[in-house]
Amino acid sequence: MQTLTENKKAAVLSILILLIGCLIWEMSIPAQKVAGELTEYEMLTGGGQPKAGVPPPSQVLGKAWEQLSNPFYDAGPNDKGIGIQIGYSIYRVLTGYLLAAVIAIPLGFLIGMSSVAHKALNPFIQVLRPISPLAWMPLALFIIQDSEASAIFVIFICSIWPMLINTAFGVAGVREDWVNVARTHELGAVKTAFTVILPAAAPTIVTGMRISIGIAWLVIVAAEMLVGGTGIGYYVWNEWNNLDLTSVIFSILMIGVVGMLLDSMFGLLQRTVAYTE
């Protein structure tokens, strides 16, 4: 009951902070003149003010209503709904992410269970891990010669390291007496890995997966700005080129909302696999 009350108080406080922030933002934007009050010169020059002024929250909400009321429209290569753009980005993220998981988790098990494998592979991991994912983009474009596949490769390369390191750490940290009990019952290495080590290391593995999905969503926006075509990153860049800051702010908020939803999904998975001794 106490937790429920705290959650309600936190929700009310969050809404209050949001409303106050939006009110301050709205009031800080200079009022625009109506069309009938503009001189001929002001009409030609955008009302004597820059056309790309920072929009107030009311305009952003109007843009959100306009876009979300028909998110999947397709009016040509450079005019697609926000739903289609986000769909392309999520497809690229999940494709690269799943490919990384297929390699990172088994390899992490190997590194965590074998000190020889850890010593042999750790230098390569430490050299490759700090490299910015976007630094791989020119090389990927040159070798793959396809912007879609190159973006997926960048997601793959940025997703693999948190999963690999956390899996190896979680596997190596499994209590030795649990493994000894499995040996006492004459379980094979594969059965021990699935029945003892995997459940014990699952919280740490999922933590790595959660970190990876956040990094992947962050990187895909920058990658799509570089390669263009489709995706939420391209949408942001295209609207900036059109000097439509209302759409830019709306798309930034959508990036944050989708990122929050992805993180929440893995947070739920993390709570599901958590255990208490």
Which CATH number fits the domain that encloses residue 233? Answer: 1.10.3720.10
Kindly state whether residue 104 falls inside one of the protein's structural domains: yes
Backbone angles phi, psi at 74, to 5 degrees: -140, 105
Kindly state whether residue 23 falls inside one of the protein's structural domains: no
Cβ of 225: how many Cβ atoms within 10 Å?
Answer: 18
Kindly state whether residue 98 falls inside one of the protein's structural domains: yes
CA–CA separation, 141 and 145 (whole Å): 5
pLDDT at 45 over 80: no
**Average pLDDT of the residues in 226-235:** 86
Residue 255's pLDDT band (boundaries 50, 70, 90)?
A: very high
- Give the per-residue pLDDT at 50: 43
Kindly state whether residue 174 falls inside one of the protein's structural domains: yes
List the domain range (segments joined by +) for residue 87: 67-72+81-273
Cβ of 186: how many Cβ atoms within 10 Å?
Answer: 7
CA–CA separation, 175 and 171 (whole Å): 9
For 145-157, b where at least 16 C-beta lie within 10 A, e where not — what string?
A: eebbbbbbbbbbb
pLDDT in tens, 63-110: 889 888 888 888 877 778 899 999 999 999 999 999 999 999 999 989
Predicted TM-score (pTM) of the model is 0.83
Domain tally, the chain: 1
Kindly state whether residue 54 falls inside one of the protein's structural domains: no
**Average pLDDT of the residues in 50-74:** 81
* DSSP β-bridge partners for residue 74: 80
Q: 20-29, 91-100, 221-230: which has the highest mean pLDDT?
A: 91-100
Kindly state whether residue 7 falls inside one of the protein's structural domains: no
Biggest CA-to-CA distance, the chain: 90
Kindly state whether residue 13 falls inside one of the protein's structural domains: no
From 3-12, 94-103, 177-186, the region with the lowest mean pLDDT: 177-186
CA–CA separation, 269 and 192 (whole Å): 23
Q: Is the dihedral of CA 253, 258, 262, 267 positive or negative?
A: positive
CA–CA separation, 245 and 30 (whole Å): 16
Q: Which two tokens stand for residue 35?
A: 């069309």
SS3 185: coil
pLDDT greater at residue 191 or residue 130: 130
CA–CA separation, 262 and 265 (whole Å): 5
Kindly state whether residue 4 falls inside one of the protein's structural domains: no
- Give the per-residue pLDDT at 257: 94
CA–CA separation, 194 and 190 (whole Å): 6
